[in-house]
Structure 1
Amino acid sequence: MTALDDRTPVIVGVGEITHRTKEAAEGLEPIELMARAMRAAAQDSGAAALLAGLDSLDVVCEYSWPYTDAPALLNARLGCSPARSVYGVTGGEAPVRYIHEAALRIARGESQVAAITGAEARYTVDAAAKLGIPLAWTPRDDSVKLVRGTDICHPVAIKLGAAMPTTIYPFYENAALAHWGQTPRQAQDESSRLWARYSEVAAANPYAWLRKPFTPEDIARVDAANRLIAWPYTKHMVANPLVNMGAAVLLTSVGHARALGIPEDRWVYVWEGAAAREPRDYLQRDQYHRSHAQDLVMETVLAQVGGDASAFEMLELYSCFPIVPKMARRTLGLAPEARMTSTGGLSFFGAPLNDYMTHAAAGLVRALRAAPKGKAALLYGQGEYVTKHHALVLGSSPPPQGLPKPDYDVQAAADARRGPVPPLVLQYAGAATLETFTVAYGRDGQPSQGIVIARTPAGERLMARVEATDTASLKVLTDLDRSPVGCVGTVTAGADDLLNWSVS
């Protein structure tokens, strides 16, 4: 048996905090949530001296209370002075990347103790704002530029109100179900059953925000408590960012873990991983029924464990909307009833925005510690709008391949699979075939408009609205028994230099 290299990276501590209060006087600001999660992770490792040796810190991009220098504030609270302190960029996959890169630095001997942490406190922030109550927290920096959909999406998408996750992910859902040969009703049933299983995991997770199991009928049924958000997603199918949560992950090397006396039953090994991305502007993608980047990432990590997804004793497939794990599980070859979360998902566990996957990592670490030796787990995160994908294989035993390989980028292979991107036209009149779509709904449950992506006979792509008064077209778009993808409509000039589309 080959001796275990002392540089082998291991996760040795995880910490989470869920703080349930709207009270301004009791609310904990994000930096304090991070600090408490970090201390909990150090305690979890069993090594009181672990944080004293921290030399690398990654703070996940935070939105609810922006700081001028979050890493410096956190280091001051913890009494740490790492040589490397980095504030991350936006993206739900970011914690997976930070864990992966921290492991690689440890394997190269560039780092001895690394931390990844993040937090959000939007539940308290929003409640205080509604009541007009000031929060006595560290002064926020409103000059901090927070990346939003309007910074990423094409101007026509912004004008049409299609620059938010709730309107963009349905484009993939509706295109994919048609590509898979499902009726919308069958796809909705798959989503509801999948989300019900996520809710069951959240119900058993003491850190989850919503600890209540939902039935598939609860998730699919449209009523006052579960209104439609954007077709076909109901409120229970979308991420819930109104939470107060923090999480942290601590890594070190096998050699240093031994030196600190960290018991081996605390160790979870970082094996291998992969990452790739789609074009940031979703109108510059070749189609919407799959993600080439996600496919390559899933295929790569599958090959790293021998080509059979049964090697994964447990999984965390990112779950901001049902379409993301639905696509991933098909590429992995998982059964529809497979358990795809250790945490509970962004709808039920809660969605501390970019930091969910830090919590997910904590959940997988605890599960692997309880698993027999030799078991593997898959941690897969996704960022922006089906854009950034990063997966990491963790194990309860040392990695069979030895130290993790430094090159995890599979971008070139993903790019090679892309077909030609249709040219986008902003002015057009005539016939256009529906490529994908959604229907946006107001708080009153009524449709505010449809939004379609369509192709002209020449193969060009366009975006257009379906007006709320066009009830005939909206009825076709929301037919549960027949997908409208592929049907032909008529495009005409509309208001504000935008196009209108209606069923021919």
Structure 2
Amino acid sequence: MIDNNTPVIIGVGQYSERVGEPGYEALSYMDLGGRALSAAVENCGADGSVAGAIDTLAAIRAFEMSRPDRAPPFGGSDNIPRSFAKRVGADPKRAILSTTGGQYNQKLVGEFAADIASGKSQCAAIVGSEAISTVLALSAKGEKPDWSEAVGGECEDRGFGLDGMLEPALFAHGATGAIPLYAIAENARRAKSGKSLDEYRADIGALFEPFTKVAAANPHSAAPKERSAEELATVTDRNRIVAEPYARMTVARDQVNQAAAIILCSAGLARELGVPEDRWVHIHAVTSATELELSERPDLAANPASIASVETAFAIADKGMSDMAYIDFYSCFAIPVFNQCDHFGLSADDPRGLTLTGGLPFFGGAGNNYSAHAICEAVERVRSDRGSYALVGANGGWMSKYATGIYSTEPADWTGNDRVSEVPKATDAVVRSNDPFDSASVESYTINHSKSGSDAVFIGRNADRARVVGNADLDDPATRDLFEGGQPFGASLTVTRDDRGRNVGRIA
């Protein structure tokens, strides 16, 4: 008999729509999330009222609500979690709005599982949605529907959670978002491999070709089309460089209309609700970790916090990578997947596959909520393959935060409530300097292309070996040739500071 306080996932649900396709309704964030939560309630197969039993409901913060300088263009709910709840007739005691970060939905699985194991909660739901594709499509036509809702009630807003993800020096030099920041890390890995830009793009294509096949078979994918490694790696007008070394098709696709929901409850309540035990999925471990800021990482290519999170989850579950039948590594860009493959010795053509959804560039990067879709897929896989194990690795920021979950229909012993763990943060940060400097050696870089132009952003070391940030002067022919040629690693730059306070380097 499984202990009554054992937390189990009893229901998962996904909902999506694609602009212009049959049945497209241009649903709001709240309606998409409500549809996913309704699907999760139905997925439980319960005799009783699962919706009525939900005492805690967390909403994952949508992208357009993830920074204090942004707001949903069509408005939104004054209490997002309660807007989701009311669509299924739920009235939770606790309503939570999450922080920013793609790791957070999985971290919440661990938090709520621990609450259930300790008796603080009986039934909890996690819901997230994105309607970015619809917002863009309607805005392009000059339409502005009113998506505002006045729901009221208590809500625990956990804030934006951007600590460690905003680096003023990088932002000031044109690395203003995920694409250039990941590109800097990706080029650092390329430097270690000794590969050219074209060779490395071929590696990315080979990694992601199998992802496209999974996405093509997933009805919720935003881009359900198989593509070859060569197609993904070849630079064309349609597959332009967005930031070296990334071609457009190989970066996370945020133009999606997708929602996902997960329902957890105690085994005792699951029995009372009449949820069949073949719907129960056990949580064997949830771990989370926080990385150093990008510019203070000893190795710009590495993400040891993510590895520590996965290894700690394996230790808690008493399992290893070879025990995992199903794997989903967060794939906003290639490097979070490469880092796991490098550490665990996995290949791009691993017969298990490295994604359950199709990955963020192809299935879609549903804002902070992508990994909820991965968890939904993992739950359904282990239900169909009883006794198997699934691993989900969830990433936030620019490899800033990570959470790992291990799932199976095999029971997990929660009597000690010791299956959730926070990995200590590293203490080996590189010293950084914001003082003016005369010279720098280049460690990594990217050339970021935006509507306002192109910026070559580098991270390097000054004469005192402190970490510094700057722009390479693309108006200088020799410097431009060096950076556009893709091999500025180790180059010495002479640096001046311009009237905007930016550090500008030329080849010495």
Structure 2 length-normalised TM: 0.89
Which of 102, 105, 112 matches 1:102?
112
1:55 maps to 55
Distance 1:38 1:459, change over 3 A: same
Alpha-carbon offset, residue 188 of structure 1: 2.2
Gaps of 5+ in 2: 65-71, 152-156
Describe the shift of the 1:148–1:80 C-alpha distance in structure 2 as closer, same or farther (beyond 3 A). closer
Map of 2:25 onto structure 1: 26
- Matching of residue 15 in structure 1 with residue 13 in structure 2: yes
Residue in structure 2 matched with residue 295 of structure 1 by the alignment:
307
Report the AA paired with residue 461 of structure 1: R
| Cα distance in 1, alignment partners of residues 481 and 379 from structure 2 | 47
1:208 aligns with 2:218: no
Determine the structure 1 residue equivalent to 2:90. 80
CA–CA separation in structure 2 for the residues paired with 1:475 and 1:147 = 40
CA distance in 1, matches of 2:137, 2:164: 27
Residue pairs, 1:251-266, within 5 angstroms: 251-266=264-279
Distance in 2 of aligned mates of 1:408 and 1:125: 38
Q: Deviations over 1:136-183 (max 9, x none)?
A: 422599xx9995989952333222121200110011111122234545
CA distance in 2, matches of 1:43, 1:79: 13
Equivalent residue number for residue 248 of structure 2? 235
1:425 maps to what in 2? 434
CA–CA separation in structure 2 for the residues paired with 1:386 and 1:140: 36
Deviation string, structure 1 residues 193-218 (Cα, Å, up to 9, x no partner):
11111111111111111110111111
1:161-240 matches, within 5 Å, as 161-240=174-253
Distance in 2, matches of 1:302 and 1:209, equals 32
Q: Which residue of 2 aligns with 1:336?
A: 348
Q: When the two structures are aligned, how many residues end up with a matched partner?
A: 489
For structure 1, which segment, 75-84 or 110-119, has the greater mean C-alpha deviation from structure 2 after superposition? 75-84
Aligned AA (1:336):
A
Aligned with residue 367 of structure 1, among 378, 381, 403: 381
Alpha-carbon spacing, 1:145–1:44, altered in 2? closer, same or farther (3 Å): closer
Cα 1:389–1:122 shift into 2, 3 Å: same
Q: CA deviation at 1:68?
A: 2.1
Task: Kindly state the Cα deviation for residue 407 of structure 1 after the two structures are TM-superposed.
Answer: 4.7
Tell me if the contact between 2:285 and 2:420 (Cα under 8 Å) persists in the aligned partners: no
* Secondary structure in 2 matching 1:347: coil
Q: Which runs of 5+ in 1 are unaligned?
A: none
Offset, 1:56: 1.0
Distance in 2, Cα, partners of 1:251 & 1:477: 51
The letter of the residue matching 2:455 is: Q
List aligned pairs for 1:399-414, cutoff 5 A: 399=412, 404-405=417-418, 407-411=420-424, 414=425
Distance 1:213 1:493, change over 3 A: same
247-256 vs 223-232, greater mean Cα deviation: 247-256
- 1:486 alignment partner AA: G
Aligned-partner residue type, residue 16 of structure 1: Q
- Which amino acid in 1 is paired with 2:441? T
**Residue 473 of structure 1 corresponds to which residue in structure 2?**
479
Counterpart code for 2:392: L
SS in 1 for 2:143: coil
Superposition RMSD in Å = 2.7
Please give the alpha-carbon distance, in whole angstroms, between the structure 1 residues aligned to 2:171 and 2:162: 8
How far apart in 1 are the matches of 2:415 and 2:178? Answer: 39
**2:96 counterpart SS class:** strand
Partner of 2:505: 501
Task: Show the counterpart of 2:124.
Answer: 114
- Structure 1 window deviating more from structure 2 (202-211 vs 43-52): it is 43-52
Q: Give yes or no for the alignment of 1:435 onto 2:443.
A: yes
Conserved? CA contact 1:149–1:164, under 8 Å = no
Match in the other structure for 2:68: none
Give how far 1:457 is off: 2.6
2:295 aligned counterpart, secondary structure: helix
TM-score by length of 1: 0.90
How many angstroms does 1:459 deviate by?
Answer: 0.3
Question: Would you say the 8 A contact 1:228–1:235 is kept in 2?
Answer: yes
Judge conservation of contact 1:299–1:331 (CA < 8 Å) in 2.
Answer: no
